């Protein structure tokens, strides 16, 4: 019996790394295309588009810049949302954390389970109230504050480079007014919805 030996070609041998490199380039290209789209939209196409769209695109730019920095420390952007809340108010219930983050409880629970497995938080039930799940930072989760908060500060500094203090203050007043106005409307609509539900 003759045993034939086959040697992989250089292309076959390096295909995984080439594929990874290709995916990395594709990802970078997509991000560059997205950034170019945003710039062209606001500087050329529709510079006076609605405020809501401007805020949405600005938020995406902020989050993208932060995500890149968090990834260097193997921290997910989704986990950052919960960590920054817990650094301020540790020991919240899962429901309270969901409300603070503006997310549904099932989504919050999945993220918290992942954060628990990473050693960032512990999930506990108290004897007096076994129904509620309380979320506490571990020493490792607390330590991340020193590492990650400067990254967010850096992103804000880059975003506001060249903007005067007066313009920053005016922008804050404008956005806070928008939050106040829309929150008041939400309360009014919420009351109307509750009234309709009672009548029905």
Helix (H) or strand (E) holding 140: helix 139-159
* Contact call for residues 97 and 83 (beta carbons, < 8 A): no
Between 159 and 49, the higher pLDDT residue: 159
pLDDT digits (tens, 9 = 90+) for 138-186: 999 999 999 999 999 999 999 999 999 999 999 999 999 999 999 999 8
- List all residues 6 or more positions away from 83 whose beta carbon is below 8 Å from its beta carbon: 75, 115, 120, 137, 141, 144, 145, 148
Q: Is the pLDDT of residue 75 over 80?
A: yes
Residue 50: pLDDT band with limits 50, 70, 90: confident
Quick one: pLDDT at residue 44? 56
* Contact call for residues 116 and 122 (beta carbons, < 8 A): yes
Least confident of 6-20, 22-36, 56-70, 74-88: 6-20
In the chain, where the domains are located: 50-161, 163-200
Residue 26: pLDDT band with limits 50, 70, 90: low
* Contact call for residues 83 and 148 (beta carbons, < 8 A): yes
Query: Rounded mean pLDDT of 124-132?
Result: 81
Q: Is the pLDDT of residue 20 over 90?
A: no
Cα–chain-centroid distance for residue 131? 28
Closest CA to 118 of 70, 63, 65: 70
* Contact call for residues 94 and 133 (beta carbons, < 8 A): yes
Least confident of 26-35, 108-117, 118-127, 167-176: 26-35
Mean pLDDT of the chain: 81
Fold of 50-161: Arc Repressor Mutant, subunit A (1.10.10)
């Amino acid at each position: 019996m003759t045993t034939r030996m086959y040697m992989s070609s250089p292309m076959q041998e390096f295909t995984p790394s080439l594929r990874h490199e290709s995916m990395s380039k594709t990802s970078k290209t997509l991000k560059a295309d997205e950034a170019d789209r945003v710039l062209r939209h606001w500087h050329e196409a529709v510079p006076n588009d609605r405020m809501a769209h401007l805020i949405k695109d600005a938020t995406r730019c902020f989050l993208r810049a932060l995500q890149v920095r968090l990834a260097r420390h193997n921290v997910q952007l989704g986990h950052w949302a919960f960590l920054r809340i817990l650094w301020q108010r540790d020991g919240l219930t899962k429901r309270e954390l969901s409300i603070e983050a503006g997310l549904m409880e099932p989504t919050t629970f999945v993220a918290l389970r992942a954060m628990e497995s990473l050693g960032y938080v512990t999930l506990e039930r108290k004897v007096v109230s076994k129904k509620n799940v309380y979320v506490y930072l571990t020493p490792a989760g607390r330590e991340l504050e020193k590492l990650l908060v400067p990254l967010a500060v850096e992103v804000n500094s880059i975003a506001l480079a060249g903007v005067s203090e007066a313009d920053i203050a005016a922008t804050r007043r404008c956005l806070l007014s928008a939050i106040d106005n829309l929150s008041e409307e939400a309360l009014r609509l919420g009351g109307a919805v509750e009234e309709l539900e009672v009548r029905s």
